[in-house]
Amino acid sequence: HYMWPPDSTYLTDQHNVVLTVFYGAVAAFSRYLTGSNDAGIVALAAGQMLLAVFCCAATANRFLNRPWMGVAQSTKDKNGSSTSTGSVSSTTSARIAQDSAPQLAGGRARFLILVFFLCCPLAVFATISITKSPLFAFSFVWWFGIWYELTQTWKPAGKRKGLTATVPTRLPRHSFVAFVLSTAVMLISAKYAWYIIALQIVLALIADRRRWTTYVVALLIPTMLIHGGISLAI
């Protein structure tokens, strides 16, 4: 609503400077082309809707399809095909690891989630609401799905080789890039995001020290650059 204030006003720290500049630039370009802000507002709303759909779809893929299991299955098949008759223990361990892993979601769960998104007014109208909170919420959904992938591919240090060889420990490149981007979108959309990320950095380094480089690059560096850069600029 601060794009059409009834009286003279000023921006506070509640209105993120990155979004303010971006929204204002799109509105100014729209006025240059059409003489009105309307086309720019429609473009911003459509872009946020597509981002929201992408974030929810990517997260649903991680929770429902668990794509990293394909890597686990190929590793198990490779181990199984290379074992001889005498080495039954590794194959048995791999089978135990696969049986103990959560299975893919069934049709009922997928259908209910689709019905929820189609019938929930808050989720539908938030996709086109040009405010900071929906943008933060959908990027947080994307971010949360990557954390689920991290927990599912975590290997305790005390596990035996046969049980730990079936899941990867390093994030795939596309998941790592998504981790960085979702963190960046959270930081530019809401100033309280850096509190959440800072706490998560501490917890992650305590619970999962072996992947500390992932957390430094995907969490700490974006927080220092974006939050620190904005604070310095202000």
What residue spans define the domains of the chain? 17-233
Return the pLDDT at 100: 55
What pLDDT is recorded for position 120?
A: 86
Tell me, what's the pLDDT at 76?
47
- Residue 81 confidence (pLDDT): 46
> What pLDDT is attached to residue 131?
83
pLDDT value at residue 153? 86
| Region class of 168: left (phi > 0), else alpha (psi between -120 and 50), else beta | beta
| pLDDT on residue 232 | 85
Exposed/middle/buried for residue 166 (C-beta within 10 Å: 0-12, 13-18, 19+): buried
pLDDT for position 97 = 52
Rounded CA-CA distance 52/171 in Å is 23
pLDDT at 166: 42
Averaged over successive runs of 10 residues, the pLDDT of the chain (234 residues) comes to 59 70 92 94 94 94 86 49 44 52 79 89 87 92 95 69 54 93 93 91 89 93 90 82
Q: What pLDDT score does 91 carry? A: 52
Query: What is the structure's pLDDT at 99?
Result: 53
Please state the pTM of the whole predicted model. Answer: 0.76
Structure tokens at 134: 């929906």
User: Do residues 79 and 161 touch, judged by C-beta distance below 8 A?
Assistant: no
